[in-house]
A and B are shown apart, each in its own frame.
Chain A
Amino acid sequence: MSLQSARHPDPVDPIFRGLAFAAATTLLLTLGGLIVALMIGGWPAISKFGFGFLTSSTWNPVTEVYGAAGPIVGTLITAVLSLAIALPIAVCVSVFLTQYCPKAIAQPVSTAIELLAGIPSIVYGMWGLFVFAPWFARTVQLPILTSLDPESFWGKLLAGVPNGANIFTASIVLAIMILPYMSAVFRELFRSIPPQVREAAFGLGCTSYEVVGSVLIPYVKKGMIGVVMLGFGRALGETMAVTFIIGNSHRFPDSLFASGSTLASTIANEFNEASGVHLASLIALGLVLFLITFTVLAIARALLSSQRY
């Protein structure tokens, strides 16, 4: 270690500080550059179609008319559905792991769940396409299709080609994908609660259901909402798991079992064959996706950082 006196400051020091500052600024520039790229790249489409880009569900590369309503609605439906499936299960899993599970099993199971959270999404997509979709078409979709009156409410809601590639199966695969992540973070939240809180509730004579439902969950409510938003953000922007299984059609989704598309899956599918207005429309889809996810993530981060334990 070289020693320095105050009179001869280390000449490397300002360079180090400058480099570190530049690195931090790079992060800022990346996000800024992303916004600029999406705006410039998407501008030809935005200026041509105007506000109608968001409300029209026509997506026609032949006539060069593009509207994002189909993918936007598809994105929101799959994300909300997958969250509705994954959230209760994730809460139950984390409660089970922190409250009921024998200690000897809890640790390995928790580690396994955390490891599963790191598995690449393309694996979930392949499982959905090759294993889950055929099974779903055979054992769920076909019986429903043959037993329901196609004119009834349920018949319309569950109509679709029985090949298993639809909005509903995409949502389930998405739910399985965000499940390990959400369970792992919920578990961390529950573990961060001081043991006295739990003990006090038990001391009042609460059953464990009342402890969890009336004391523990309210205690970490803000953090949980933050985690839910993070999971939502992940589901919104997930590309590969969805692209494999959603069926990739651009019409406005009119039934749960109909094929659809999301913002991310449309970009992934068509980008390499696109040019001109088509390319600009795809980049504009990216801008829409960015605005939605940025809002969701910003709220999530604000909630999470306001509740650190």
Chain B
Amino acid sequence: MDRALRRKFANQAFVVICTGAALVALGALALIMFSLLTKGVGGVDLMLFTADTPAPDSPGGLRNAIIGSILMCGVAMMIAVVIGVLAGTWLAEIGGDTPYGHVVRFLNDVLLSAPSILIGLFVYWWVVVPMGGFSGWAGAIALGILATPIVTRTTEDILNLQPNALREAGMALGASQWVTVRSIIWKAAGAGMLTGGLLGFARISGETAPLLFTALNNQFLSFDMSKPFASLPGAIYPFAMSPYETWNTLAWAGALLITLAVLGVNILGRWLARDKDHK
């Protein structure tokens, strides 16, 4: 009887602890979202999108940073999609079972979770130093390298899910591997691959560390990617660290924008993936 009681008690204590831990965790995360909303919403107005980053204690917005982020992420995603889709396709359709394929898959997994600041150092050494200065291109390359492993991984996973009957059907019609992959496999896996791209985009749009010494920052609106380039994270970091209240407000507003963008893209990606499952 004693033993049964003890077991019952241990079990109930465990349930309480688990529930409590879940509440603590969710509470902490809710607290962060709450701070972000209350501090960020105050800074969101029309000027945020129409004015450039200001001098201390004067009004301004984040237009140059928003445009800079969009441009750099856009170029980065072009790099990531081209390399990632091809590499993922190679792993799934051509050489994934060779020893070399295993090495590539393993290293891709390592790159997937490598510290982003190291990617920044890599691009600094191989792009910024040879090109003679910080530039938007360097920032875009750094972000592209961060997104590529994600695209590679999801592409390989999605292609592996496609039934072999599709490949056999293509071959039976006499189509080459290229035509089979392009017209059948990629088409069938389209939604999933798009999700992979969106996940990669969500990951890089908030990345700050690798931009610090690749794109640096730019106070003015610029479309010249061979010069130092503005970005939202690149503007938020110094603004948040500064003692000026106007800058702090802008930093919170920027953080809110990034978070909403990341959440939005993530939700869109999930929605696309779910749509595919239900067909």
Contacts and interface: CB of A to CB of B under 8 A. Distances in A.
Contacts of B209: 239-240, 264, 268
Contacts of B26: 93, 109, 112-113
Given A89-B25, A236-B115, A268-B212, A119 B103 contact: no
A264 B90 contact: no
A51 interface: no
- Size category of the B interface is 35 or more
Given A17-B177, A212-B14, A93 B87 contact: no
A93 B213 CA distance: 38
B261 to A, nearest CB: 10
A123 B110 contact: no
B47 interface: no
Interface stretch (A24-32, A62-70, A146-154): A24-32
Contact of B110 (A38, A93, A298): A298
A100 B19 contact: yes
Given A24-B104, A30-B111, A271-B213, A17 B241 contact: no
B25 A41 contact: no
A254 interface: no
Given A20-B89, A37-B121, A93 B21 contact: yes
Contacts, number: 279
A4 B117 contact: no
Interface string B1-26: 00000011011011101111110111
A239 B259 contact: no
A133 B148 CA distance: 36
Interface string B126-152: 100000000000000000010011001
Interface in B174-225: 174-179, 181, 183, 202-203, 205-209, 212-213, 216
Q: Could you tell me the dominant secondary structure of chain A's interface residues? A: helix
Contacts of A140: none
A9 interface: yes
Interface in A1-60: 1-6, 9-10, 12-13, 15-17, 19-28, 30-31, 33-34, 37-38, 40-41
B53 interface: no
B237 A16 contact: no
Contact of A290 (B21, B82, B118, B178): B118
Contacts of A130: 35, 39, 240, 248
6 contacts: A12-B176, A31-B107, A37-B126, A209-B14, A294-B114, A301-B109
Given A13-B176, A213-B14, 6 more contacts: A19-B86, A30-B145, A30-B148, A239-B208, A240-B209, A294-B110
Interface of B: 7-8, 10-11, 13-15, 17-22, 24-26, 28-29, 31-33, 35-36, 39, 82-87, 89-91, 93-95, 101, 103-104, 106-111, 113-119, 121-122, 124-126, 145, 148-149, 152, 173-179, 181, 183, 202-203, 205-209, 212-213, 216, 233, 236-237, 240-241, 248, 251-252, 255, 258-259, 262-263, 266-267, 270
